[in-house]
């Protein structure tokens, strides 16, 4: 009999990536049935998943009784919360409460395993030097809470997402054939661990298949570390457009956002995002996966055209 994997954020980028990977995997699709959790089971994306055989259930992270119902009967739960709150300090507390509620629901429902989407605790890692990364610390606090519970748990920690470059961080037009890509006050040789969100399933599948082996383990997930200059040069190589790295944010960006990014500078320049043990932790994680993660060059190729002029 197949196992039931329940995925939060099923219609979003991260949860949707897990579902797509399982559905398309010749072996895992036979091992797991899928349940997707979303706030609106009637929207088009939820209906599309239902047509593909995913059981869709409605739940709100602020409603614990619904969460227990949503995870009941699951063998594994992939859980996450939304971190899009760069200007709302109170939202860190909200996210912590939501994450703990999901974990408590899993314990109450007798779920054997939870995989939590986490991030580094920047305050502890830097002893308070790095500020502005509350959306990292809140997820890390939920991770620490889950570690105290009577449930098998694995922690998925994504690097800097390649998908970030599809939106606000996309290179800006300067003149025909010339673009600038910004990173505030960071040197070109600053190393960033890049990850394609489409690869979430590749990274968590070992833990899904062997919860005991990966209990309390953290998966440090990225393709590899890239320098900022290497990232820009890859755009130039693939697109044929001249992409130049700059240390100034676009003038149109909100001042508050620029200030936050400046506060987070040390996360990249000093602590290389994952912290001092990041390279070793990443090497260990890559040894666990059986499929090669997507390279930055392949990601750029997959998302052509980037520029119109």
Give the tens place of pLDDT for each residue, 268-301. Answer: 999 999 999 999 999 999 999 999 999 999 999 9
The answer for residues whose C-beta is within 8 angstroms of residue 95's C-beta and 6 or more apart is 81, 82, 83, 85, 135, 138, 139, 142
- Asked if 245 and 228 count as a contact pair (C-beta separation under 8 A), the reply is yes
Other CB atoms within a 10 A radius of the CB of residue 33 amount to 19
Q: What is the mean pLDDT of residues 130-154?
A: 94
Q: Give CA–CA dist 215/197, Å, rounded.
A: 23
- pTM greater than 0.85: yes
Q: Is the pLDDT higher at 253 or at 45?
A: 45
Q: What pLDDT, on a 0 to 100 scale, did the predictor assign at position 85? A: 47
All structural domains of the chain: 3-302 (3.40.50.720)
Across 12-131, the runs of DSSP E, i.e. the strands, are 32-38, 55-58, 76-79, 113-118
Q: What pLDDT, on a 0 to 100 scale, did the predictor assign at position 187? A: 92
Extract the tokens encoding 77: 């739960």
Beta bridge partners of 77: 6, 114
Q: Flag whether pLDDT at 252 surpasses 80.
A: no
Other CB atoms within a 10 A radius of the CB of residue 216 amount to 10
For 55-113, how does the pLDDT look when each residue is reduced to its tens digit (9 = 90+)? Answer: 999 998 989 999 999 999 999 999 998 755 444 445 888 899 999 999 999 999 999 99
Q: What is the mean pLDDT of residues 236-258?
A: 84
Q: Give CA–CA dist 255/252, Å, rounded.
A: 9
Q: Give CA–CA dist 269/283, Å, rounded.
A: 20
Other CB atoms within a 10 A radius of the CB of residue 145 amount to 15
Torsional sign, CA 91, 93, 97, 103: positive
Q: Give CA–CA dist 29/249, Å, rounded.
A: 44
């Amino acid at each position: 009999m197949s196992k039931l994997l329940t995925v939060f954020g099923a219609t979003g980028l991260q949860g949707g990536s897990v579902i797509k990977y399982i559905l398309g995997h010749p072996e895992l699709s036979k091992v797991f049935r899928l349940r997707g959790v979303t706030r609106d089971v009637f929207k088009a994306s939820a209906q599309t998943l239902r047509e593909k055989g995913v059981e869709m259930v409605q739940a709100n992270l602020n409603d614990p009784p619904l969460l227990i119902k949503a995870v009941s009967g699951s063998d594994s739960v992939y859980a996450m919360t939304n971190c899009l709150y760069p200007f709302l300090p109170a939202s860190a507390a909200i996210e912590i409460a939501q994450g703990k509620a999901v974990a408590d629901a899993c314990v109450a429902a007798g779920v054997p395993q939870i995989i939590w989407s986490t991030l580094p605790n920047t305050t502890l890692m830097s002893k308070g030097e790095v500020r502005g990364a509350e959306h990292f610390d809140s997820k890390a606090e939920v991770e620490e809470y889950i570690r105290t519970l009577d449930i098998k748990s694995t922690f998925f920690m994504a690097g800097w997402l390649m998908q970030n470059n599809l939106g606000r961080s996309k290179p800006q037009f300067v003149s025909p054939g010339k673009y600038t890509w910004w990173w505030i006050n960071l040197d070109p040789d600053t190393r960033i661990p890049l990850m394609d969100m489409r690869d979430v399933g590749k990274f968590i599948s070992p833990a899904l298949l062997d919860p005991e082996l990966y209990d309390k383990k953290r998966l440090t997930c990225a393709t590899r570390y890239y320098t900022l200059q290497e990232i820009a040069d890859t755009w130039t190589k693939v697109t044929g457009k001249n992409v130049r790295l700059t240390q100034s944010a676009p003038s149109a960006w909100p001042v508050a956002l620029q200030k936050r990014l400046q506060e987070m500078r040390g996360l990249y320049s000093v602590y290389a995002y994952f912290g001092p043990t990041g390279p070793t932790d990443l090497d260990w994680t890559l040894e666990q996966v059986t499929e090669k993660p997507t390279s930055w060059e392949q990601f750029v190729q997959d998302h052509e055209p980037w520029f119109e002029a």
